[in-house]
Structure 1
Amino acid sequence: MHSSTQLKEIRQYYQQQLVSQLGTAVVVLNDRLEVKYLNPSAEATFNKSLNRLLDAPFVECFVHCSLDVERLAQVVRTGQDFTDSDVILELIDGSRISLEVSVSVIRIDGKTRVLLECKQIDKQKQINTEMFQEQQWQAARDLIRGLAHEIKNPLGGLRGAAQLLDRELSTEQKEYTSLIIEQADRLTNLVDRLLGPNQLPKLAPMNIHQVLETVYQLKKYDNAKGVRFIRDYDPSIPEIDVDPEKLQQTLLNIVGNALQVLDEDGQIVLKTRIATNQTINGEKVKLAIKISIIDNGPGIPASLQDKIFYPMVSGRASGTGLGLSIAQTLVHQHHGKLACHSYPGRTEFSIILPLPKRPNQ
């Protein structure tokens, strides 16, 4: 028979060994929510060592952490476990990871500790989210197109009838038919905008930085608040087939939206990078170009973030809700994707455009 001391040592040894070998990221915090332990999987997930994070407040270890601090503190007070299936962490290098985090209270050497078990769900979440948003966006587009065509037909008849009537009326009465024609033209223009661009892009090989520089020059002078622009380009990016006018329209819509919500301390970053192993509309792409438009504004309300690319959805009272919907259509025409990640103090719109495969790929 083994003594109780021997059994305790055996349990402690294997517990330590197993935790260090787990593929799940494990974090232990004290009752002040400071880091006391990371297993190797957690170090790899967060791209930081235990030596760097030891005794640091957990939520301050990242540029942004969506895990609710008050909810963590409540776990310490009440001992009630919880699981958050959608935790977003932004790391110091600008990368972003999605986690499912289970939080529980444990006792170690008589002290209260908070155990975080973190499972990374980036890829599956990204694919599911993109597929759902693509289906919803397409359904909204189809609905709008159907309604728009139903509206345009009677509008054309109404305008034609007003023109015929205009010939029969006196000069004083023509102001009424002129008003009808003017409003019919205005509604037709609105419907055409709802339908969005219907011409296929005219693709030609070019350096995307030329388009970005044009957008920068245009918006630099349309900048009454003095918002600061930062250009962070990767000069190694090769030429790619794009329609410069459509890409420019997309970027102008996004940059214009940012300028409207920023104040005098605002900043917009135009950034380009090569991105690897991307998923675009359900297809895996080894190499792509990533264009990022990043601002330090108030952020997009969480309730709108899943719907901002739908027609007629806007976060501003004066907005038409068409700019981002049109931008989404234009990016789709380039077989790319447009994504947004936002929280107070940082909003990033990303345009991902696939690079053509090389002959040996």
Structure 2
Amino acid sequence: MSAGLLRNSFKGAASAAPFFPTLLDQLPNAIVVFEAENQQLIYVNAAAESALDLSRKSLEGQSVHDLFGSNESLNHMIQEIKAGHFSAQRQEMVLHSLPGSIHQDAIPAHVVVASLEDPALIMMEWFPIDQQLRSERDERVSQQVEANKQLMRNLAHEIKNPLGGIRGAAQLLEYELPEKGLREYTQVIIKESDRLQDLVDRLLAPHRKPHAMESFNVHEVLERVRSLVLAEFPKGLKIIRSYDTSLPEILGDREQLIQAVLNIAHNAAQALSSEIREGIAQIELKTRVARSVTISKQRYKMAMDLHVIDNGPGVAEDIRERIFFPLVSGREGGSGLGLTLAQTFVQQHQGFIACESSPGRTDFHIQIPYRRQEKS
């Protein structure tokens, strides 16, 4: 939106706030409008609500400095606009969100402060600098995943046919062997063939006919996952619920989502073996709502944010960029398929999955957009 159009949108006094155009709520960047004199917020768009993880009602009435603390760079920009030295200023800076907000990390952001036609009002817009980088990364990941899926499908089909022949030949050979002791070797061939057949089936399973979609409560999924993990790890592990119970039901495949989250949580529990022995292991299941999100270049009004966070040693640095690739595992004896399947299931819901990991904290982030049920 041009600066002129923005100014016209906010023409009038602060009392006109209830009539601000809803068009600003559709913009992807966070925008707030505040009074120049006391810097008190009178308007917050949906993207700003999402960025600060606070409702519009609780934000309006706060001052800009209540939100971002004593930020000298931001204060200087506001004073320059207020004095009429510039109509708009842009700068990259680090923003800190309101104390008590969930998002309390320092956020490197591109900030724009601009005057409006009414000199009593000032507009501030910001967006994380890494937003564009993430969009480019998501596109690369999507292309890589599609290439991997095609490769694994082709490879699985190429393996499947000769594998059946090997197993059949081993069975026939077993019948012809004169000594029973020699059958031990044919059993090795048969059992290993069966193991490989199971691996091939698991590689092909996500690409077969999709299941019927239904609306369901994501917290029912998380409670199922929680009970399954605690049944296997009953001592030394604490699973914390941090649910936003206001989340609406999501449209998807319940069993696929259970399997996706279970694969992640189960991996986390296995990585927490030392912490479990010490009795300090912790996994957090967290849900939030995200507004005005872009996933694979598609814009959605609202999405479900789901986090699986553990306090384990973190993902090994040498595989951190490849953990969703098939057959890549950070655990000895692991199949390397759990996270690949989780990614496939999430992408089949038009969502994305990402991981941020460092020693002491690993966060698997799933975001799935809310979509309407298609009419049959």
TM-score between both structures, scaled by the size of structure 2: 0.63
Using the TM superposition, give the Cα deviation of residue 271 of structure 1 relative to its aligned residue in structure 2, in angstroms.
1.1
Q: Which of 220, 228, 231 is equivalent to 2:230?
A: 220
Q: Which of 246, 251, 254 is equivalent to 1:244?
A: 254
Question: For residue 336 of structure 1, what is the amino acid of its counterpart?
Answer: G
Counterpart CA distance in 2 for 1:273 and 1:261 is 25
Alignment match, 1:301: 316
1:86-235 map, 5 Å: 93-95=101-103, 99=108, 120-170=128-178, 172=180, 173-197=182-206, 198-235=208-245
Tell me if structure 2 keeps the 8 A contact 1:201–1:242.
Answer: no
Using the TM superposition, give the Cα deviation of residue 195 of structure 1 relative to its aligned residue in structure 2, in angstroms.
3.3
Counterpart CA distance in 2 for 1:185 and 1:338 is 32
Using the TM superposition, give the Cα deviation of residue 199 of structure 1 relative to its aligned residue in structure 2, in angstroms.
3.6
Larger RCO, structure (CA 8 Å, separation 6 or more): 2
Counterpart CA distance in 2 for 1:226 and 1:185 is 36
Post-superposition CA distance 1:312-348 (Å, at most 9, x none): 1122233221110011111112221111122222211
Alignment match, 2:348: 333
Unaligned ranges ≥5, structure 1: 1-42, 54-84, 102-117
Post-superposition CA distance 1:261-283 (Å, at most 9, x none): 22021211111111112222221
Tell me if structure 1 keeps the 8 A contact 2:213–2:253.
Answer: yes
CA change 1:257–1:358 in 2 (3 A) is closer
1:55-74 map, 5 Å: none
Counterpart CA distance in 2 for 1:181 and 1:273 is 48
Counterpart CA distance in 1 for 2:264 and 2:240 is 15
Tell me if structure 2 keeps the 8 A contact 1:133–1:306.
Answer: no
Using the TM superposition, give the Cα deviation of residue 146 of structure 1 relative to its aligned residue in structure 2, in angstroms.
2.0
Using the TM superposition, give the Cα deviation of residue 98 of structure 1 relative to its aligned residue in structure 2, in angstroms.
6.3
Q: Which of 69, 90, 100 is equivalent to 1:49?
A: 69
CA change 1:130–1:89 in 2 (3 A) is farther
SS of alignment partner, residue 50 of structure 1: coil
Q: CA RMSD in A?
A: 3.3
CA change 1:241–1:358 in 2 (3 A) is closer
Counterpart CA distance in 2 for 1:321 and 1:90 is 38
Alignment match, 1:266: 281
Counterpart CA distance in 2 for 1:300 and 1:219 is 20
Alignment match, 2:306: 291
CA change 1:213–1:134 in 2 (3 A) is same
Tell me if structure 2 keeps the 8 A contact 1:304–1:315.
Answer: yes
Using the TM superposition, give the Cα deviation of residue 91 of structure 1 relative to its aligned residue in structure 2, in angstroms.
9.0
SS of alignment partner, residue 367 of structure 2: strand
CA change 1:88–1:319 in 2 (3 A) is farther
Identical residues among aligned pairs (%): 45
Counterpart CA distance in 2 for 1:130 and 1:290 is 16
CA change 1:151–1:357 in 2 (3 A) is closer
SS of alignment partner, residue 268 of structure 1: strand
CA change 1:177–1:345 in 2 (3 A) is closer
Using the TM superposition, give the Cα deviation of residue 154 of structure 1 relative to its aligned residue in structure 2, in angstroms.
1.0
Tell me if structure 2 keeps the 8 A contact 1:97–1:120.
Answer: no
Counterpart CA distance in 1 for 2:311 and 2:252 is 28
Alignment match, 1:113: none
Post-superposition CA distance 1:199-257 (Å, at most 9, x none): 41332111111111111112122225421111111111111222221111111111111
Unaligned ranges ≥5, structure 2: 1-62, 74-91, 111-125
Counterpart CA distance in 1 for 2:97 and 2:334 is 29
Question: For residue 316 of structure 2, what is the amino acid of its counterpart?
Answer: P
Tell me if structure 2 keeps the 8 A contact 1:100–1:120.
Answer: yes
Q: How many residue pairs align between the two structures?
A: 269
TM-score between both structures, scaled by the size of structure 1: 0.66
Tell me if structure 1 keeps the 8 A contact 2:65–2:71.
Answer: no
Alignment match, 1:34: none
